[in-house]
Amino acid sequence: MRSRWSDEESRGLGELDLLVYASRLIGAETGLVVWGGGNTSLKVTERDFRGREVRVLRVKGSGSDLKSILRKDFPGVRMEEILALLEREAMGDQEMVGYLAHSLQELGGSRPSIETLLHGFLPFEAVIHTHADAIVSLTNNDRSAEVIREVYGSDVVQIPYRRPGFLLSKEVARALESNPGTRAVILEKHGTINWGRTPKETYLATIDLISRAEEAIAARSRGRARFGGPLVNHLAPPERRETALALAPFLRGLVSRDRRAILHFDDAPAVLEFVGSQEAGALSQVGPATPDHTIFTKRLPCFVPVEQSGDPDRLKTRLRDAVERFVSEYTRDFQAHRFEGANLQDPFPRVILIPGLGMFTTGKDRRTSLIVDDIYHHTISVLGAASAIGRYVSLTARDAFDVEYWPLELYKLALAPP
C-alpha cells in the first residue's frame, strides 16, 4: 500500500484540517475501512465555554464516513473528563453514552465515536484506528499469534477480541503501559491502532503497518489456489443477467415478508470466484470477519447449494429452501445466544450467495443494499487472505449477536442500523 500523502496539498493546513486530510486519505483506501468504519482523532488546545484553555479530543463523529468527512464531523470531547475515567475499573455502555454527552465542547453537535475513549486514553496527539482487511486476515486464523510475531516482531501488541467500549479502551491503555516501545496495537478480529505527534506521522505509520501485512499475505498466497479452486462454472454474462432478473422478484418476496427489502445483484469477478469455489459453502458459514461487517451483513450469508445455475425454476426451489433454512437457523441461534434486552429484529438474510450466478444483497433502500454489497466484498477479501495463512476463524456466535443487537443508543454512537 503506497502513501497518498502530499506535502504540497497539506501545506498551510491547520491542525483540524490536517486531521480531515489524513482521514480522507484513509477513507480513500478501500482495504483500510468499510463504509462508516474506522475513526481518527487529534488532541488540541481550545477555549471552553468559560474562556479557559483546555485540552480537547477532536474525534470522528457517529454516522460520518472517512472518505468524505468534514471539519464539522469531528465533535470535541474535553480531555479532563476523559482522563478522569482512567481511575474507573468498569463502566456500562449506556452510562458511557450519557457521560460522553456531558463532556462535549459544543452542545447539539454530532455524537462522538463509540471508540472515543480508545483514542482519549492513549497518550499521543494523533490516533488512527482502521479495520484493515490485511490485518484482520492475519488475526482471523488459527496461526494468528505466530504470524503476527513473524511479521512485526516486538513492534506491535496484539489484544484478544473484545467488543468496542470502555473495557477495551482500558485494556489498550494498560497494554501500552506494559509495553512502552510498542509502535502499534493490533486488535484481534477487529483492526489496528496507530499513533504519532501529527496526523501525517500517524498516517505514514498506518500505511507502513498495513504494507507489511500485505507483503506477508502475498508471500504466503503465492502458488495457492484461492478458496480451493473452482467447483461450479459461472454462467456467461448474458445468461447470468437473464437468470438474475428472473430470480430477483421471487427472492425479494422471500425476504420482504416482514418489511420491504431492496435487492442489489453483483456478479463481479471476485464474487464469482468465491461463490463458485470448492470452499465457499463451508468457508462462508464460519462467521464474520469483524464487528463492522456484522452490523450490516449479519453473522452469516445465505449460501444456496447448486451444481448448475442456469435453470431459474430449479433455482427458485433451491432459493426458497435455502432462505427458509437460514431463517430457521438464525432464529434458533439468536435464541441460544440471546442476552438481556435483545429482541429478534429481522431473521432474513442480507447476503445471498449463488454458485455460478453471483451475490444478492438486501437492505431497507438501495443505498443500504449497496453498502452491504461493498462490505461483503471486504469479507471475501479477508476469507481469501486468512485462508492462505491457516484455518480461518471468526468472531464467536455470541460475540457476533452481541454486536448485531447493540442497544439503539450504541448504534447511534457507532453506525446507524440497516
Q: Would you write out the chain's pLDDT as a tens digit for each of its 418 residues?
A: 899 999 999 999 999 999 999 999 999 998 998 877 889 999 999 998 888 999 999 999 887 889 999 999 999 999 999 999 999 999 988 888 889 989 999 887 778 888 899 999 999 999 999 999 999 999 999 999 999 999 999 999 999 999 888 999 999 999 999 998 899 999 999 999 999 999 999 999 999 999 999 999 999 888 888 898 999 999 999 999 999 999 999 999 999 988 899 999 999 999 999 999 999 999 999 998 888 888 889 999 999 999 876 688 889 999 999 999 999 999 999 888 876 667 787 899 999 999 999 999 999 999 999 999 999 999 999 999 998 888 999 988 888 888 888 764 554 454 444 4
CB 317 within 8 A of CB 195: no
The predicted structure's pLDDT at residue 410 = 55
* Final residue of a structural domain among 201, 221, 241: 221
Query: Please, which residues have CB within 8 angstroms of residue 149's CB and are 6 or more apart in sequence?
Result: none
Task: Provide the pairing of β-strand 126-130 with 76-78.
Answer: unpaired
E strand spans, 63-109: 76-78
Report the CATH number at residue 76. 3.40.225.10
Same domain? For 281 and 143 the reply is no
For residue 126, give the 3-state DSSP assignment.
Answer: strand
E strand spans, 11-52: 39-47
CB 389 within 8 A of CB 135: no
- Tracing cell 447449494 back to the chain, one arrives at 305
Q: What is the DSSP letter of 156?
A: E
Same domain? For 216 and 273 the reply is no
Report the CATH number at residue 270. 3.40.225
Same domain? For 356 and 232 the reply is yes
Q: Which of 368, 370, 381, 373 has the alpha carbon at shortest distance from 353?
A: 373
Please check whether residue 418 lies inside any domain of the structure.
Answer: no
* Final residue of a structural domain among 162, 189, 221: 221
Same domain? For 214 and 244 the reply is no
| pTM reported for the whole predicted model | 0.91
Tens of pLDDT, residues 41-88: 999 999 988 889 999 999 998 878 899 999 999 999 999 999 999 999
SS3 content of the chain, % helix, strand, coil (to 5): 50, 15, 35
Same domain? For 163 and 241 the reply is no
Same domain? For 264 and 195 the reply is no
* Final residue of a structural domain among 182, 206, 221: 221
CB 373 within 8 A of CB 359: yes
Domain carrying residue 154: 7-221
